[in-house]
Chain A
């Protein structure tokens, strides 16, 4: 069965420090991996995706994510967190033998000044 896990409900980090939001997945076939961010009272916004190629993917607002096939992970990272990065982050996956998006349960990122 296809699934996505975000093991942390909440991540707290100080402004200026690096941040990591974790995501692991389970799919049959090759994974297509996505990160979305959701600000209060707004819809999900696309951040970045991994389709193929370089394992390190760069996206919007200085975010990047590293695809690790052996660990079936796609962790979201940023070298220096901003208070404005505080939001809810969702990892999503599609397998190459189905089209349905499977979303994780979300991780709330709190960046404190």
Chain B
């Protein structure tokens, strides 16, 4: 079974520039998550999709971050404009269903450095 795919793996941009990350979940997984993991901290949920609908985006900084999941499969996360504090690893995860007993499967992450 193929895992969660993410690209790019690394990205360096200057502050005020924009950047986009892509995620392809495990085939058949209805639920997709984006997390931000700052160095030395645990992952923080940014947004959760159930198919192509948003379930939770309470911790997404909506003035600069946006995400979409067209056709309920692939997803993109965008930051515009980026700030220095956005430097982090952005993790995408998927699970079979949006049910609390199901574990999530994570991609390798995209390491973003904002200079």
With A99-B56, A104-B42, A106-B41 already in contact, the answer to whether A44 and B103 are too (CB < 8 A) is: no
Q: How far is the CB of A46 from chain B (nearest CB, A)?
A: 4
> Which of the residues B44, B103, B104, B108 comes within 8 Å of A41, measured between beta carbons?
B108
Of residues 7 through 35 on chain A, the ones whose CB sits less than 8 Å from some CB of chain B are: 32, 34
Interface pair B100/A43, CB less than 8 Å apart: no
When distances are taken between beta carbons in the complex, the residues of chain B under 8 Å from A106 are 40-42
The interface on chain A, measured as residues whose beta carbon lies within 8 A of the other chain's beta carbons, has a size of: 24
Classify chain B: how many residues form its interface, as a range.
Answer: 20 to 34
In the complex, whether B25 has a CB less than 8 A from a CB of chain A is no
When distances are taken between beta carbons in the complex, the residues of chain B under 8 Å from A90 are 42-43
When distances are taken between beta carbons in the complex, the residues of chain A under 8 Å from B43 are 44, 90, 101, 103
Q: How far is the CA of A99 from the CA of B41 in the complex (A)?
A: 20
Interface pair B107/A100, CB less than 8 Å apart: no
Q: How far is the CA of A43 from the CA of B45 in the complex (A)?
A: 15
Interface pair A44/B106, CB less than 8 Å apart: yes
A-to-B contact residues, CB < 8 Å:
4, 32, 34, 36, 41-46, 49, 51, 90, 92, 94-96, 99-101, 103-106
